[in-house]
Amino acid sequence: MRFISTRGLAQPLSFSDAVATGLAPDGGLFLPEKLPDLSAQWPPMAGLGYAQLCHEFMRHFATDIPEETLRRLVGKAYQGFDHAETAPLVALDARTYVLELFHGPTLAFKDFAMQLLGNLYEHQCAQRGESINVLGATSGDTGAAAIHALLGKPGTAIFILYPDGRVSPLQERQMTCTGADNVFALAIDGSFDDAQAALKTIFGDTAFRLKNRLSAVNSINLARVLAQCVYYLYAWLRLPQEARANAEFVVPTGNFGNVLAGWLLQRMGVPIPAFKVATNQNDILYRLFTTGEYRVADVQPSLAPSMDIQVASNFERFLYYQLGGDAARVRAVMATCAKDGVYRFDKFEHSTFSASRCSDAEIPGIIAHVRRRYGYLVDPHTACAFKDLSPEKVSVVLATASPAKFPETIREAIGAEPKHPRLEALRKRPIHKHKLPASVEAITRFVEAHAV
């Protein structure tokens, strides 16, 4: 299978080359040239364990990696998860399910794709006999998951940009207390959007990217999104038959990679009826899906910090399909959005998507309510998804992080702090971070000086 850019001006690439390249050289995002049709294939997958299912799914895309190698890389990726089901689907009542995505090494959904991506990078280093420098931007969880996927891996260095003071204290510790020589946590003076914009500019500089063998761990990297499709399929296969026709996946949303993965699976023939985009007070996607207007506002730091994003990267992939694969129109819309910060769609059809938004004032109350009603504790991001669950539908809420990562907010909500031994251990370790301005020059200088 080949992978094409949403902006249509880059050479189509193989899976491994698209993974290594990250952002397409024309500034677009890679997508499969043609999505596979899984409509007849998914029902027989019902009995597969998580890693087997992931292999069955990924082999449609990673066609340039030998079957057995892929099976090994995938198998290894899910060994560090501490739940036998990997992604357990928990029924809170007959109409409300939670898909727990926080049983990986860093206790957030990012581990699902990142553990696999780390193995793909290791494989790439071995195959090509070259080192890799990974550059990512995070609002909290991507960075931690990427660092833990590459920690101490030979031939790799990892540079993670994060907004200084705007991630949770434990998220920061996950990134800065590893003590590993190949990890560089870069605390930038700005928002996640500033970090992501700088990152895209750096990846757009092909000479710099090639010279430093840079690779991307954000969901601009297609492997991230594809690996995330798998847990939707896993949950779908475990959902009782009678619940499926009326099911809605409710997805805490920031950079739009998580919900996009589910929607792509639907386009591949898995008949998931509906998705809800659940935002925090940074509600650009809520406004888009309810009014058809995309209007960038200033980021407001919130109690669900990993969703403090306005410019959602993966929206471009959705747009590509919305515009019937017309890359010239994607380029025009993206240029207008970048220049004016606003775009009004004449026709914005999205019948499978609805949206909700949750203010900071509401988050502690929702955490307390979910606890009272179901005896279940959710983190502040997952709490956003519990706002306005449809009484007519069977909701499958994606629990994207462990509440233990956000003890301060949980204490405010229920008067007690959840603890996780892995996180508690971090509290005693020294923090290593490098403060930088959110400028392309400062970041590139740092990367060049420390690249392997």
Ligand X SMILES: Cc1ncc(COP(=O)(O)O)c(C=O)c1O
Sequence letter at residue 142: T
Whether 276 is a known active-site residue: answer: no
Among 310, 400, 409, 444, binds ligand X (CB under 6 A): 400
Cα separation of 278 and 295, whole Å?
A: 17
First vs last C-alpha separation in the chain = 31
**Which bin fits 213, alpha (ψ -120 to 50), beta or left (φ > 0)?**
left
**244 Cα distance to chain centroid:** 24
- Contact (Cβ atoms closer than 8 angstroms) between residue 289 and residue 350: yes
Region of 180-188, 254-262, 331-339, 389-397 interacting with ligand X (CB under 6 A):
254-262
313 binds, among ligand LJ64HWYM, ligand X, none (CB under 5 to 8 A by kind): ligand LJ64HWYM
Region of 146-154, 179-187, 250-258, 342-350 interacting with ligand X (CB under 6 A):
250-258
Q: How far is the CB of 81 from ligand X (least distance, A)?
A: 16
Q: Which is nearer to ligand X, 70 or 250 (CB)?
A: 250
Among 217, 307, 333, 447, binds ligand X (CB under 6 A): 307
Q: How far is the CB of 379 from ligand LJ64HWYM (least distance, A)?
A: 12
Cα separation of 405 and 423, whole Å?
A: 8
Residue 258 interacts with ligand X (CB under 6 A)?
yes
Binders of ligand X: how many residues, by CB under 6 A?
Answer: 16
218 binds, among ligand LJ64HWYM, ligand X, none (CB under 5 to 8 A by kind): ligand LJ64HWYM
Q: How many other C-beta atoms can be found within 10 angstroms of the C-beta atom of residue 122?
A: 19
Residue 410 interacts with ligand X (CB under 6 A)?
no
Q: Which is nearer to ligand X, 178 or 314 (CB)?
A: 314
- Which of 224, 219, 228, 216 has its CA nearest to residue 101? 228
- Contact (Cβ atoms closer than 8 angstroms) between residue 320 and residue 7: no
253 binds, among ligand LJ64HWYM, ligand X, none (CB under 5 to 8 A by kind): ligand X
Residue 282 interacts with ligand X (CB under 6 A)?
no
* Contacts with ligand LJ64HWYM, residue ranges (CB under 6 A): 138-143, 218-219, 254-255, 257, 306, 313
Contacts of 443 (CB under 8 A, 6+ apart): 159, 161, 186, 188, 198, 199, 202, 436
Cα separation of 232 and 396, whole Å?
A: 10
Convert residues 119-158 into a mask of x (bound to ligand X by CB under 6 A) and - (unbound): ---------------------xx-----------------
Residue 357 interacts with ligand X (CB under 6 A)?
no
Residue 230 interacts with ligand X (CB under 6 A)?
no
Alpha-helical regions (H) of 129-246: 141-150, 169-176, 192-204, 206-211, 222-238, 241-244
Residues with a known catalytic role: 110
Positions in the binding site for ligand X (CB under 6 A): 108, 140-141, 219, 252-258, 306-307, 381, 400-401
